Structure 1
Amino acid sequence: MEDAAGRQRKRQRDGDRAPSTEAAAAVTGPSAEAQYLYLPIADALKAPGVRVCLFAAVSDIGAAVRSRGTDFTLTLRIVDQSRASGISVTFFADNTALLPCVRSSGDVISLHNIMIAAHNTELFVKYNKKISSFALFEGKVSTECRPYQYSVNYHGSKHDNEILTQMRTWLAYHPQDHEDIELQLRSIKSDSAFDLICKVLHVHEASNGVWILYVWDGTDTPATEFQMILDTKSAASLPLHLEETPLPREVLCSLPCVGSVLRVFTNSFFKELLHLQKGTYWARFCNITCKQEFGMWKGIMLPICRVRLLSNEDGSVVERLKMFDSRIASKVHRRPMASLPNGSDITDVEYKTAGYSTLMKSLTHGEVVHKFKTLVRVVAVYPCEASDLSDLLAGKHAVRLTLEDPTARIHAYIHRDDGASFFGGFLTVEAATRKMNKLLGIPEPTDMDVGEQASAPKRNPPWIWCCIKSYYLNEDDIWGSRRYRIYATEIRD
């Protein structure tokens, strides 16, 4: 028996011009309504050069870019029951509004009058902007069968609903996203592969050829732990960021003030980088991993990692934006997630009613000199010897604290004239050391076996409230010479 693809090739050879010539598969029934013969992708691949119709699910979404000519182009990857690996479809249009705008991976697309072509032995779907047409439908079973976008020359039929329902049913059991390994930044883990849906805010190529992607989803990365032993060398060399050099101020000011911005590193160039460099996109990183470096989270793209660009209307994107809107609507939930429900009561501040600011909000503040109250952790102190605390109490020199919250890390100084008030009076060196250890998360020694400390070699600094004000050292470079100092803050007994 002659298969459908064979019949279509025969019609074209015989010059059969069915209505719309769509796949030579559009036929006219008694009611003069066009009907379409949709092929599985696997069967369509057997008929290169023949016009066919397809109903498939969108697995990967590209970005609209200008072609080498005057058109705009967009590439999607589509799959169905017959070919899980899918095939790419490249669209061309006079402007981006005429290109498909897929809301979510897993949505369904209907394609009329397209052809299978080959380039460098790789097969792809050839879309002709003059005679081809498309329609996009939501992939969820419970939604209506009307398309949410369709090209001007697209004509469907009532029989399409049956095929759409079959495709949606298949998708329900074969989702395009693997939610079982999908994490948010607030729940990332070390040395395990997972999927991450996030907004790519900035892309930077380092001098060593490594690409850094700055990603965000509105949540906070988990608080990390630090080595118990804090010496002067490690405290002095603790970096404020993972990049070689700080971000330019104009880039820094474009980053959100609430929620962590994770730095994701990759040694490999991938095609989606071209899109991510030119604009802000949401994306799904499949098979990404993380590790902790200097107490900061570092994302790493594995060789098997794939990147899927997502529409702002993708269900996962909409869900994350709703969660973030809910978070910033509450003054309490803007605070570090790890500090909730309450911050530590280790410190006392004079300005209790002052509003809360993240460190990033201060870094991006429009004025170089300002004051704010924040909730942070003290991850290091430099210098950190007992004699240095003694000099601070005596008003001889300052001590530098390294503070962090989920948005940034800064150095803040306790000036020599603030030392006594910070510790709550002119204390002995032993008493001041004990208070500083509280801030650093170093437990007090006990009468128990010293070997117990070896079983818990990490420290977890508590969240503390403190008041900070900024200043500058050089009038000719006020932003480059900006510094921070702690004031109106006291460590409680």
Structure 2
Amino acid sequence: MEMASTNGRDQSREYVYLPLVDALKSVGVRVNLFAVVSEIGAVRRSRGSDYVLTLKIMDQSYLAPGISVNFFSERPSKLPSVMLNGDIIGLQRVVMKIHNGDHYCVYNKRFSSFALFQGKMTEDCSPYQISPKFQQRDHDDEHLSQLRTLLIDHPPGAVLKEGELQLRRIKTHTLFDLVCKVLHICNTSNGEWILFVWDGTDAPPLMLQNDLNTEMTAPTPLRPEELLLSREVLCSFPPVGTVLRVFADKFFKEFPHLLNGGCWVRLCNINCEVQSGIWKGMLKVCSKIRLLSDDESTVLDCLKKYNARVKSQAERLPLTCFPWPSHILSVDGYCGIPATLMDSLTCKQVKHLVVCVVRVVSSCPWRAEDLRSPVGGHFRIRVILEDPTARIYAYIIKEQGEKFFGACSTQDALTRGMNALLGITGGSGGDPPPREPPWVLCCLRSYCLDESDPWGSRRYRIVNTRLSLYN
């Protein structure tokens, strides 16, 4: 597949690029290819000492599903670092192979070479990454132009959409694809990586089965990860829509495009599990990540729906709160557009008043006979509130507690009120029965315990809110 050359950029050798459909017939032969990157895998360790990366490529002769190319190198920096799904790659002296009827290419670090080019229409025909052995030639520009034209009618993101879900449709024990924006990425103390992803929709509220009797010694967590996000990171999160934590193995630390966040991706073959009533995404061995361009149709559709949502009073509410929250709680003199908990967490003022639509996930204490302090006799309760954007601790104390429980004149009334808030419907013996707390409206006042550390010592109280026993 190589021939001598007397002109062009390379004066010693010219490389003839095969269409993929012809390369499939050349098993065991070194071939040269010019193709579109339709899928980007994650860098991981091979069984030996190398790092391995798998890309999928397609061209005019062989579109979806394309063929895989396996790259090996002793260092991740020597592997292709594809900026976007849909960019173009030139490959020289790669070997075609077949396994169980499936064709694929192998990039040999000793004699193969590559160059990466932008896939979007531009006059720039120079590669943004090139390996030392790659030989550029005059006809590369012609191949680039043809493939860029192909991408107009056959964008990689337009294929393989079966099984794609939005966060509002996710479920457990199911593999699915998710188009989302990576807002942030960090690693845990045990070497796991966490991707914080968002698509503008709300993950479904979950049935809760935490034991309320253990809240004092083992409180329900506010998030699935151990670390506390900095205020700077938190303020970069959108105010509406669930931010799903997706946990990945150690090899994802070598996936450079995600480290700074802000890029759109298609997470392929991920699944979700539930931890303490919180959705937790998982990347498996079979999972893949495709980088998406900001102007892909799926990305633009997500942004269009989100922009319409944040401008609508009704759609700003949790998507499962229809047509309005339960009337179990009411807020004195309130009429307006409820905020989200993320609105409050990212507010520029430490001390502020906000009305939110939330669920009461837990309460400590929760039994009617324990709600008042044995010392002063006043109410003192810590609850966990959640909406699709966050969970927080909030306190019901003293005179605001008297206002909150004002309609509950007996212990039986207090019991009925707390059961209604917490979604307790009965059950006895064994594990606590599943609970489904209703969406309720409540008013929150933020304050700080230490004026020298206002953000670090910020807390919330429920104020100007009343419990009704007649709904």
State the TM-score bracket (shorter-chain normalisation): 0.7 to 0.9
In the other structure, the counterpart of 1:463 is 439
C-alpha distance in 1, partners of 2:239/2:455? 18
Instruction: Tell me the amino acid that sits aligned with residue 252 of structure 2.
Output: F
Q: 2:416 aligns with which of 434, 437, 447?
A: 434
Task: Kindly provide the CA deviation profile for residues 227-284 of structure 1, in whole angstroms up to 9, marking residues without a partner as x.
Answer: 2853244785111112213211111111111111111112331366322113421112
In the other structure, the counterpart of 1:365 is 347
In the other structure, the counterpart of 2:300 is 318
Task: Kindly provide the CA deviation profile for residues 353-400 of structure 1, in whole angstroms up to 9, marking residues without a partner as x.
Answer: 243211111111111110000000001111122212355998424111
Does the C-alpha gap of structure 1 residues 276 and 436 become closer, same or farther in structure 2, counting only changes over 3 Å? same
In the other structure, the counterpart of 2:358 is 376
C-alpha distance in 2, partners of 1:327/1:149? 38
1:115 matches 2:103: no
Q: C-alpha displacement at 1:22, in angstroms?
A: 13
C-alpha distance in 1, partners of 2:384/2:458? 15
In the other structure, the counterpart of 2:125 is 151
| 8 Å CA contact 2:184, 2:195 repeated in 1 | yes
Q: C-alpha displacement at 1:155, in angstroms?
A: 5.2
Does the C-alpha gap of structure 1 residues 457 and 86 become closer, same or farther in structure 2, counting only changes over 3 Å? same
Q: 1:477 aligns with which of 453, 457, 462?
A: 453
Q: 2:172 aligns with which of 185, 190, 193?
A: 190
C-alpha distance in 1, partners of 2:354/2:335? 11
C-alpha distance in 2, partners of 1:317/1:309? 11
C-alpha distance in 2, partners of 1:465/1:85? 53
Does the C-alpha gap of structure 1 residues 88 and 350 become closer, same or farther in structure 2, counting only changes over 3 Å? same
| 8 Å CA contact 1:373, 1:465 repeated in 2 | yes
Does the C-alpha gap of structure 1 residues 43 and 136 become closer, same or farther in structure 2, counting only changes over 3 Å? farther
| 8 Å CA contact 2:192, 2:247 repeated in 1 | yes
Instruction: Tell me the amino acid that sits aligned with residue 490 of structure 1.
Output: R
Higher mean Cα deviation, 228-237 or 360-369?
228-237
| 8 Å CA contact 1:290, 1:297 repeated in 2 | yes
Query: SS of 2:342's equivalent?
Result: helix
Task: Kindly provide the CA deviation profile for residues 272-299 of structure 1, in whole angstroms up to 9, marking residues without a partner as x.
Answer: 6322113421112111111111111111
Instruction: Tell me the amino acid that sits aligned with residue 303 of structure 2.
Output: L
Q: C-alpha displacement at 1:462, in angstroms?
A: 0.4
Q: C-alpha displacement at 1:43, in angstroms?
A: 6.0
In the other structure, the counterpart of 2:278 is 296
In the other structure, the counterpart of 1:215 is 197
1:343 matches 2:364: no
Within a 5 Å distance, the mapping from 1:156-235 to structure 2 comes to 156=142, 177-227=159-209, 230-233=212-215
C-alpha distance in 1, partners of 2:357/2:438? 10
Q: C-alpha displacement at 1:87, in angstroms?
A: 3.1
Query: SS of 2:452's equivalent?
Result: helix
C-alpha distance in 2, partners of 1:101/1:37? 24
In the other structure, the counterpart of 1:141 is none
Does the C-alpha gap of structure 1 residues 388 and 109 become closer, same or farther in structure 2, counting only changes over 3 Å? same
C-alpha distance in 2, partners of 1:156/1:22? 20
| 8 Å CA contact 1:375, 1:466 repeated in 2 | yes
| 8 Å CA contact 1:401, 1:411 repeated in 2 | yes
What's the TM-score, normalizing by structure 1? 0.73
Does the C-alpha gap of structure 1 residues 19 and 375 become closer, same or farther in structure 2, counting only changes over 3 Å? closer
C-alpha distance in 2, partners of 1:283/1:189? 20
Does the C-alpha gap of structure 1 residues 373 and 326 become closer, same or farther in structure 2, counting only changes over 3 Å? same
C-alpha distance in 1, partners of 2:356/2:12? 64
In the other structure, the counterpart of 2:258 is 276
Does the C-alpha gap of structure 1 residues 380 and 281 become closer, same or farther in structure 2, counting only changes over 3 Å? same
Higher mean Cα deviation, 324-333 or 79-88?
79-88
C-alpha distance in 2, partners of 1:126/1:362? 49
What's the TM-score, normalizing by structure 2? 0.76
In the other structure, the counterpart of 1:33 is none
Cα RMSD (Å): 4.1
Larger radius of gyration: 1
| 8 Å CA contact 2:444, 2:460 repeated in 1 | yes
Instruction: Tell me the amino acid that sits aligned with residue 352 of structure 2.
Output: H
| 8 Å CA contact 2:210, 2:220 repeated in 1 | no
Higher mean Cα deviation, 255-264 or 384-393?
384-393
Does the C-alpha gap of structure 1 residues 366 and 22 become closer, same or farther in structure 2, counting only changes over 3 Å? farther
Could you tell me which runs of 5 or more consecutive residues in structure 1 were left unpaired when the two chains were aligned.
27-35, 64-74, 91-98, 138-146
In the other structure, the counterpart of 2:466 is 490
Q: 2:338 aligns with which of 332, 339, 356?
A: 356
Could you tell me which runs of 5 or more consecutive residues in structure 2 were left unpaired when the two chains were aligned.
43-53, 73-80, 95-105, 127-137
Q: C-alpha displacement at 1:218, in angstroms?
A: 0.8
1:307 matches 2:262: no
In the other structure, the counterpart of 1:424 is 406
Count of aligned positions = 423
| 8 Å CA contact 2:184, 2:197 repeated in 1 | yes
C-alpha distance in 2, partners of 1:470/1:246? 19
C-alpha distance in 2, partners of 1:148/1:348? 58
Identity, in percent, stands at 39
Task: Kindly provide the CA deviation profile for residues 133-158 of structure 1, in whole angstroms up to 9, marking residues without a partner as x.
Answer: x6847xxxxxxxxx56662776549x
Does the C-alpha gap of structure 1 residues 349 and 236 become closer, same or farther in structure 2, counting only changes over 3 Å? farther
Q: 1:126 aligns with which of 89, 109, 114?
A: 114
Task: Kindly provide the CA deviation profile for residues 119-170 of structure 1, in whole angstroms up to 9, marking residues without a partner as x.
Answer: 646885533x9xxxx6847xxxxxxxxx56662776549x969x977x999x
